[in-house]
């Protein structure tokens, strides 16, 4: 039996309803929030609101803060310095907490869960979630599918 793909999604420039519709449409059963700070000025994307929204759709929610980008990495991304983001995040991934949470995420995907990681940036190539996806997919041998909700 083949495993489902590993999904990613960003919520930049989209509504929470569009993200929830996209997750439901892909058959995601667990949304894993990989933001260091699960708070947002965007309606529906703070931790408690997001968890409630996905729950209403029958989707689980898990926040793996240890896989979030450190503050200096978020600043590099906002400034468009993606090479710097990669260096900062690579160093962060070597920490025990990040490794433990990466192992936890990998186990969920290995178990056949339809997992989607969420972060802010719309385009995965500008976000640390691409690095997370690459590592998980390499470990498990599944394909990554980057979901894109319709923009506002």
CB distance 116 to 26 below 8 Å: yes
Which has the closest alpha carbon to 151: 123, 117, 115?
Answer: 123
pLDDT of residue 130: 94
Instruction: Name which residue leads in pLDDT, 152 or 129.
Output: 129
CATH of domain 6-141: 3.90.190.10
pTM above 0.85, yes or no: yes
Please report the pLDDT score of residue 93 as a whole number: 96
Token pair belonging to 5? 């793909």
Domain boundaries of the chain, sorted by first residue = 6-141
Angle between helices 82-93 and 71-78 (to 10 degrees): 160
Contact indicator for 30, 114 with CB cutoff of 8 Å: yes
pLDDT in tens, 27-76: 999 999 999 999 999 999 999 999 999 999 999 999 999 999 999 999 99
Residue 152 banded pLDDT, cuts 50, 70, 90: confident
Q: Rounded CA gap, 134 and 136, in Å? A: 6
**Ramachandran class of 141: left when φ > 0, alpha when ψ lies in -120 to 50, beta otherwise:** left
pLDDT tens, position by position, 79-136:
999 899 999 999 999 999 999 999 999 999 999 999 999 999 999 998 999 999 999 9
- Please tell me the predicted confidence (pLDDT) of residue 1: 60
């Amino acid at each position: 039996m083949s495993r489902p793909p590993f999904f990613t999604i960003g919520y930049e420039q989209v509504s929470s309803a569009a993200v929830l519709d996209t997750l439901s449409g892909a058959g995601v059963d667990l949304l894993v929030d990989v933001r260091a700070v699960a708070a947002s000025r965007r309606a529906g994307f703070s931790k408690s609101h997001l968890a409630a929204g996905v729950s209403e759709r029958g989707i689980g929610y898990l926040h793996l803060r240890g896989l979030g980008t450190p503050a200096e990495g978020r600043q590099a991304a906002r400034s468009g310095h993606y090479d710097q983001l990669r260096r900062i995040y690579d160093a962060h991934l070597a920490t025990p907490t990040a490794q433990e949470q990466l192992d936890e995420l990998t186990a969920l995907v290995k178990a056949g869960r339809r997992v989607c990681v969420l972060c802010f940036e719309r385009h995965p190539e500008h976000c640390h979630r691409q690095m997370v996806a690459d590592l998980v997919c390499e470990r498990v041998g599944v394909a990554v599918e980057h979901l894109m909700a319709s923009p506002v």
